[in-house]
Structure 1
């Protein structure tokens, strides 16, 4: 019987390229894009060179979602606008969310914030309790009276009090001695003072409790995915490595 030899079929280049394109399309379809709003707040989330958003909070959120095959489009804004945009459901995910938003799903806490009062060490101002903020010139972040509660609101009601979105400007006003006290997140205040004016020039007055914050979303599935991603980066040590970074440059 005559033996028939068959020549192996060699895939053409066009066929291989078509397969690669199809695979890429399938992978792209499997990846979800979510819009995440963050508070413009160096060093947690801030716009650096080229308006690229970066920072500790940014990197934690990006890493958690990346572990779940989710792409993220970040938007950085003032805290008042962040809450407005989230409550208007124009964001898939917002961080941090420090007030109750009915109907939203809240993540576990991943931002170890500690609001403090800071003063210039050279001025020797004593602040041992919240009520000591009375009768001083105080500047704080937007919505601080809502976040810090009734005792704080009562204290600053007798102060020359302003809430401002621009944290760098707050620190500049402090060093220009146009305000006595800046109320805000400890790491933020220390890093801004360090990169703008040098180290070890502030006194931290720890009159508020340390409170960690998380984010919020309207989508229960997205919440579960973020929680799983956060757990994953904690297990690998990536989360702690991000938190342990020194103060980064502003640009």
Structure 2
């Protein structure tokens, strides 16, 4: 085959071998635009991810997301994953149109890998946040049609001169606006309730166990008041996705640890009904 169009083998080879941007997103948009996250077919059922929380603790940053995806008033999925490790030191959580959001995150992961291979170094944490903002801005047309994707980005900067300033959290809006956050933040339909819980529970210098508990407890409070946010499901063994980013890299908290944390929260709440 010797196609000479942007999407054909010859066209892709021409773009791949020509000097240009270190952005894989720009390369893909030029070489094979049909592979970019795109419009959803008419009549398709749109599922939405809901609540993501993130907070800074003594060793880095923790991010957690509930597992429910909704389609209108229905539960579309009970065990969706909304929190991803995007490279060795950064995390992204997604809220909004779930299918579109997962596609953007996958493209973003490749974007970071591509940059590192082309430039021989990783982007700074601020640079990673800027790249994500650019990708969200590129989805603005779809957002205006109701396919909004709103991420939460957090990470650890191993090159920070002050370790106390190494962990950072960034929020975004649908236009690609990027906003550094202090201490903690939450996005999604249950974010109002989760942020209220974070405000009461967060304190400086939390250790790992305490930070994981604060994240899970804030999601529990969000699920208590927001029907689109799923609480921990002990019967099915479905717990929030909780990830950490520290100087040692990223880590996913295991379900055994989360099960113990959830049971401790439930025991405390049972002792204080109405809290």
What is the TM-score of this pair, normalised by structure 1? 0.29
* Larger-Rg structure: 1
